Structure 1
Amino acid sequence: MSENVNITSKGIQKVLRNYNEKQAIAEYIWNGFDANADVIKIDYVSNELGRLDSLQITDNGYGINFDRLKQKFDPFFESEKAIQIVAPKHTSKMHGRNGVGRLTFFTFAYNASWNTTYQDEKGFHQGTIQTHAGGLNHYEATEHSNADQKTGTVVTFTNLHIGQLDFEQVVIPFLINEFCWFMELNKHKNMQVLVNGKALDFSTNIKSTEEFELVYQDTGFRFQIKYVHWKESLHKELSKYYFLAGGEEIYKNYTTLNKKSDDYFHSVYINSDFFRDFDFKSYENEGQVALFGAAKSAAEYRFLIKELNDYLKNKRKPFLREYADRLIDGFDQDGIFPKYITDREQGLIKPKLINLIKVLYEVEPKLFSSLSIDQKKMMIRLFDLALKTNEKEGIFNLLNEIVQLEDDDEKELLAVLELSA
């Protein structure tokens, strides 16, 4: 059968313009995991010129049901507004965009063909779907009489415009960072992504990891914690708490240190029977009370979040100190600091200024992010001027208005400014 999608091919490309080849390939892997696959195979062949001749992505998921084919390949676009690539907020299930992700191949190939096997109450069925970048609004679907006795999908891409070097040095590292948190979340399921038969090593993005247990003594509830500090960004996933029961994800949410402009990428996996009947939406729907199980107002939950927040802050401090040292080195190289003429200024004022900058960076890295060279010079030299003119109390009062200082941060800042508490 032949079907047309309700938008022009150029219109589809315009809607999907936020996708590049890395994100598009990731979409096909997400499609496999969304179909309950536990093994994704990426196989490619390159030619003597270093270009990819073919690329296949295979999954052992439940396949594409031809009775719902129109839903999968006929996405409805209300406008030509570009689709944003957004990760699900509170669940890791159904990550890929139904229908939309299957049309992103135009970013790296001209032709795409799906060979899929699915099962329904009548047995196993097999079929092929084909489309190309010049006609994204049109696809050909053919059902076959003979079907394999196991479900899955093989997507084959040809007429590729991506090189082997880019695929191995750009796409593969991107996929490791895209899926490392998800593979850690599902580690008990032994999921794999194989590239030309070799399993991707997602641990290459791990900077450090730690496992421990928290116990709420009053009720005896135990929480098994796994903390992972990542080397590089998790893309749209960001830093989150994952709440699990029996190893299965129940809910996820951002940690309090997410998006602090300091490149502290982390995930915290919390496994406990406490979450089996937990009402995570009780605070979102004000006035509602959990009829069964516990809610966010429970003493156990408040204890858990406080302990984890304190834990993350302690883990973040040495990381911020390391980055603060790099910030100071960068300021020196870029000529941000004032020129100190006398030995007294060089030996007395500059060290105080450096200590002030380090403390402020540890308290609120955003103060120093996205600033131009001139803006950095102005801010640092105003601090320098205030230190020289003994306007230390003025600095403290100003910063206390801009930044929410916790007790420990306030004490440290007062000490650096040589002010009494």
Structure 2
Amino acid sequence: MTNSTVLKDSLAEAIVSDEIQLGGDGVKSILSAYSPQESIAEYIWNGFDAGATSIDISYEENELGSLRSITIADNGSGIPQGLLSVKFKPFHESEKALNKTDSRHHSLVHGKNGVGRLTFFTFANIARWTTVYEKNSKLYKYDIEIKSDDLHSYTGAHSPVSEIPYEHGTSTKVTFEGIRELSSGNIETTVKQYLLQEFCWFLELFKDKMFSISINGSPLDYREMIAGERDEKIIHDATSTRFDVKYIQWKKKLNKEFSRYYLIDSTGKENYKSTTLLNNKGDKFYHSVYIRSDYFDMFSYEDKIDYDQSTLQNKEQKFNSKRDEEFKYVISEINDYLRRMRSPHLQKMADDLVEKYEKENIIPEVNNSWEIPRNNELKTLIKDIYKIQPKIFGEGNSSIEQRKTFIHLLNALLDSNQRDQIYTIIDAVVRLDDQEQKQLADLLKVNKLNSIIQTIKMIQNRYTTIDALKEIVFNDSFNSREVDHVQKVLDHNFWVFGEEYNLVSSTEAKFEKALSEYLYILRGGKKQDVNMESPDKNKEMDLFLCRKSIENDRINNLVIELKRPAVLLGEKEVSQIKRYQRTIFSDSRFNGDNTYWDFVLVGNKFNESGYIEGEIDTNKGHGEKEKGLIFSKDNCKIYVRKWSDIFADVECRHKFIENELKTERDRLAIDYTNADEATERAIKK
């Protein structure tokens, strides 16, 4: 048969049309939504849909390093010229799109909307196909061409057709010229990564059939996408039906494929696929499950099986279906398995979320040690809610302010009698299923108990510290020292002087170092060395605490001078704390309109001179005589206090919680033999 005879026969069969019915001028806007990598993926899918097992992407560069051409070649069945008008069907009406059930439940019917042939518009000026197809046990080849500036037309229906040797096999090769927006670097990075995320699950599904994609002859290694994999065997005991299961977790989100399970028969053919129970939960748990069994050799995925039994060769055969106990069993086992595999993943994601929220200041700031248990409870609640339903936090779909509002609302409800409202709010954000509702209700109860337990433990530790500190300052036989005992305990427990402060410096810190730390706490950024001009800049403070109040933009500072128990407080000791006050007020960096200072001298007893008592009486008009106020002016106050007064304040702050939680304080009492033992006990975590 001559080539001209073949051409004549082909033209006689074909419904010849050189016009593509695009349905309006909006086609270019539709195509513009495709990125170059998405377009290349469409041509690869066209090859697989045509029965290809091997697809190679190749490119050529010119002398300037720009791309001269890109070619995508496959070993698929080709495009018979007589069917060209069907294959180049009106835009958005391809035969693939018409079979929606198959495309949803089978992987080899992928292309849609007839868009694949035109997507070259996004990165090239011309697309030329050379396709080889089989007819009557012979192979024929011809060319097709479309230009980006005339997408309505194509050549090919009247192109000359030539017969080629049969051993060459069927194939299609499409070459793109006039390349735009792509370089070899793009192909080896952006395009390659996109193809990994597009086809990794597919190449694993058909790995037994040796499906492959290569770029300039180098195979695309889809295993780069695998975060974890496991092989399992599931047996349905009642029927001894065996299922070989492979589970894969992917490192990144698959482009368009959901997390699914794939049912594969004994020949390696995919019979059915469907989304898993944990698909699209918003938790970045990307996975695929491949289930192989001869059970799927005769399997219908339709809910209602409709077939003619007379067509079955073996009358004992029957179609298996989703209603069978075997199928229900294996899916149930896989769902349980996925939940187990998801658990450590969710824990890490939840930990990362809380860490991120802390860096972004979404989680409320802790202003004092009383807030630590509630803050821990809030972070635990965030993690637990995330593990129940990650979508609640709307990562990627909400602003920082929206997330902060939601978290602060949770925190406010935890600190009230309206904890049950958390459930109502979350259910309004994202609808919870029955299991999620029960999990949330249970964790709210558990978190409340955990918060109480943490608070009790904190109070117990504090009573232990106070009892040890009392021994240090009141037991004369201990001969306690200021730095080794008193100050060492308070460096670790500065809450004794108030819940709201941050530690700036301790253990005899000089003023210049203290100022550096102070500025860092208030302003952030990088720590810097600072210089002071005061002659007393090398003096050393025992404790320097500060607190910045966000609500009223006020900075409260507290400087404490500690004296060992044997020292009796008098004018000499007061002059020292006043010298600290003068040194600080001599440097403007320590001061501002919103900055307030309290200086406190602490000891066991006053000396007999009456000096301190006189100073307190002189300043009683300021209304803080019981607190030992000896100086008050503008934003500065100086106090002299006894340890007995400090301990009384601590008792008052803790008393109401002690009564509420019924702490057994007597059980915590310990007899100490020396100051070192009491100190170690007080600072032990």
Cα gap change, 1:66 to 1:415, in 2 (>3 Å): same
Q: Is the 8 A contact 1:392 1:417 kept in 2?
A: no
- Which among 378, 393, 405 is matched to residue 368 of structure 1? 393
Return the letter of the residue paired with 2:335. N
- Which among 178, 182, 185 is matched to residue 165 of structure 1? 185
Q: Which residue of 1 aligns with 2:231?
A: 211
**Does the alignment pair 1:7 with 2:22?**
yes
- Which among 449, 453, 464 is matched to residue 418 of structure 1? 449
Return the letter of the residue paired with 1:45. E
**1-structure distance, mates of 2:449, 2:423:** 11
**Does the alignment pair 1:275 with 2:296?**
yes
Q: Which residue of 2 aligns with 1:404?
A: 433
Q: Which residue of 1 aligns with 2:340?
A: 314
**2-structure distance, mates of 1:122, 1:185:** 31
Return the letter of the residue paired with 2:272. Y
Q: Which residue of 2 aligns with 1:70?
A: 85
Deviates more, 1:353-362 or 1:116-125: 116-125
**2-structure distance, mates of 1:408, 1:386:** 18
**2-structure distance, mates of 1:382, 1:253:** 38
State the shift of 1:221 in Å.
0.4
**2-structure distance, mates of 1:51, 1:8:** 35
Q: Is the 8 A contact 1:126 1:148 kept in 2?
A: no
**2:42 counterpart SS class:** helix
Q: Is the 8 A contact 2:23 2:91 kept in 1?
A: no
**1-structure distance, mates of 2:247, 2:88:** 39
Q: Deviations over 1:222-242 (max 9, x none)?
A: 111000100111111110010
Q: Deviations over 1:73-128 (max 9, x none)?
A: 242458xxxxxxx9931111221237421111111100110011111116211101
Return the letter of the residue paired with 1:385. A
- Which among 363, 374, 392 is matched to residue 349 of structure 1? 374
Residues 50-69 of structure 1 correspond to what in structure 2 (within 5 A)?
50-69=65-84
Q: Which residue of 2 aligns with 1:107?
A: 122
Deviates more, 1:95-104 or 1:326-335: 95-104
Q: Deviations over 1:266-313 (max 9, x none)?
A: 00000112222223111xx5x979973232222111111111111111
Q: Which residue of 2 aligns with 1:119?
A: 134
**1-structure distance, mates of 2:260, 2:410:** 35
**Runs of 4+ that moved beyond 6 A:** 287-291
State the shift of 1:386 in Å.
1.7
Deviates more, 1:400-409 or 1:348-357: 400-409
**1-structure distance, mates of 2:260, 2:31:** 27
Q: Which residue of 2 aligns with 1:143?
A: 160
Q: Deviations over 1:9-35 (max 9, x none)?
A: 954323434322111100111111111
**2-structure distance, mates of 1:216, 1:159:** 58
- Which among 271, 277, 301 is matched to residue 256 of structure 1? 277
Return the letter of the residue paired with 1:33. F
- Which among 327, 331, 354 is matched to residue 305 of structure 1? 331
Q: Is the 8 A contact 2:17 2:85 kept in 1?
A: no
**Which 5+ residue runs of structure 2 have no aligned equivalent?**
1-15, 94-100, 310-317, 453-685
**1:251 counterpart SS class:** strand
**1-structure distance, mates of 2:302, 2:277:** 18
State the shift of 1:408 in Å.
5.9
**2:164 counterpart SS class:** coil
**Does the alignment pair 1:222 with 2:251?**
no
Structure of greater Rg: 2
- Which among 35, 42, 50 is matched to residue 27 of structure 1? 42
**2:248 counterpart SS class:** strand
**2:103 counterpart SS class:** coil
**1:116 counterpart SS class:** strand
Q: Is the 8 A contact 1:20 1:107 kept in 2?
A: yes
Q: Which residue of 1 aligns with 2:173?
A: 154
Q: Which residue of 2 aligns with 1:81?
A: none
Q: Deviations over 1:61-84 (max 9, x none)?
A: 111100001112242458xxxxxx
Q: Deviations over 1:198-257 (max 9, x none)?
A: 111000011000001000101100111000100111111110010111121000000011
**2-structure distance, mates of 1:98, 1:63:** 19
- Which among 261, 265, 282 is matched to residue 245 of structure 1? 265
State the shift of 1:51 in Å.
2.4
Cα gap change, 1:169 to 1:111, in 2 (>3 Å): same
**2-structure distance, mates of 1:144, 1:171:** 34
**1:313 counterpart SS class:** helix
**2-structure distance, mates of 1:413, 1:188:** 49
Matched residues, number: 409
Q: Which residue of 2 aligns with 1:358?
A: 383
**Does the alignment pair 1:182 with 2:202?**
yes
**Does the alignment pair 1:231 with 2:246?**
no
Q: Which residue of 2 aligns with 1:266?
A: 287
Q: Which residue of 1 aligns with 2:416?
A: 389
Cα gap change, 1:201 to 1:87, in 2 (>3 Å): farther
Deviates more, 1:388-397 or 1:259-268: 388-397
Residues 323-338 of structure 1 correspond to what in structure 2 (within 5 A)?
323-338=349-364
> Higher relative contact order by CA 8 Å / sep ≥ 6: 1 or 2?
1
Q: Which residue of 2 aligns with 1:92?
A: 107
Return the letter of the residue paired with 2:176. F
Return the letter of the residue paired with 2:392. L
CA RMSD of aligned residues (A): 2.6
Q: Which residue of 1 aligns with 2:513?
A: none
Cα gap change, 1:409 to 1:184, in 2 (>3 Å): farther
**2-structure distance, mates of 1:399, 1:405:** 14
**1-structure distance, mates of 2:113, 2:36:** 18
**1-structure distance, mates of 2:40, 2:402:** 40
Q: Is the 8 A contact 2:230 2:246 kept in 1?
A: yes
**2-structure distance, mates of 1:416, 1:405:** 20
